[in-house]
Homo-oligomer: A and B are copies of this chain.
Amino acid sequence: MPRRSAKSLTRQAKQARAKTTVNVIVDAAAQVLIREGYAGATTNRIAERAGVSVGSVYQYFDDKDAVFARLIDREIEAVVSIFSAGTGIPEESLMSALRRLLTVAVETWSYGPQLYRQLEHVPDDALRRRVTEAKTLLAGFIRSLLETHRAELRVRDLDVATFVVINASTGLSTNATTEMYGEPLVETTVELLERYLIA
């Protein structure tokens, strides 16, 4: 017997008012998640923070984790759009491109690395898979960027280079403090990567 995916009983937001409510809830979820962690991010607290009743959350989301799924989608889309925009400029040097991408990423990343760290700890397989997919997508972008600048590269193995670029960057940015953030963070990261990739 083929398992049929249960039809979602939640409504589709049709009026502008409802769409606002959905966004307010997702924003509230992000904020509560950062402040309280997953364990403290209860539906009631999210609703309270959003200024709506618990029931409204369940008007648009199947369950609690669906709210976080929506949040993840939003974040992924933001990252993807950043890196898609990066493909346009021709004749741009590798390090210039990396600096630009990192700068935009740091600036745009709406809730910063804190949210990202918390999202990785949401205990839902589907969500974790989405995060992994996003990482793969990101790796593809970086790899093709490195490929177009292969001539400048010191490192031979593009897979290793991609691995280093992504994980050194995220390693620095996810642990960024309030002191070490913004431009200094980007410059430090660029310096680290440049000395490894080129020269």
Contacts and interface: CB of A to CB of B under 8 A. Distances in A.
Interface residue tally on A, bucketed by range = 20 to 34
Interface string A97-120: 000000000000000000001101
How many monomers of this chain does the complex have? 2
A192 B196 contact: yes
Given A37-B121, A39-B39, A171 B180 contact: no
A167 interface: yes
B180 A172 contact: no
Contacts of A23: none
A40 interface: yes
Contacts of A117: 117, 120-121
A175 interface: yes
Interface string A171-190: 11011000010000000100
Interface in A108-156: 117-118, 120-123
A48 interface: no
A58 interface: no
Given A39-B121, A39-B123, A117-B120, 15 more contacts: A37-B123, A38-B121, A117-B121, A163-B172, A163-B175, A163-B180, A167-B171, A167-B172, A168-B172, A168-B192, A169-B171, A171-B174, A191-B196, A192-B196, A195-B196
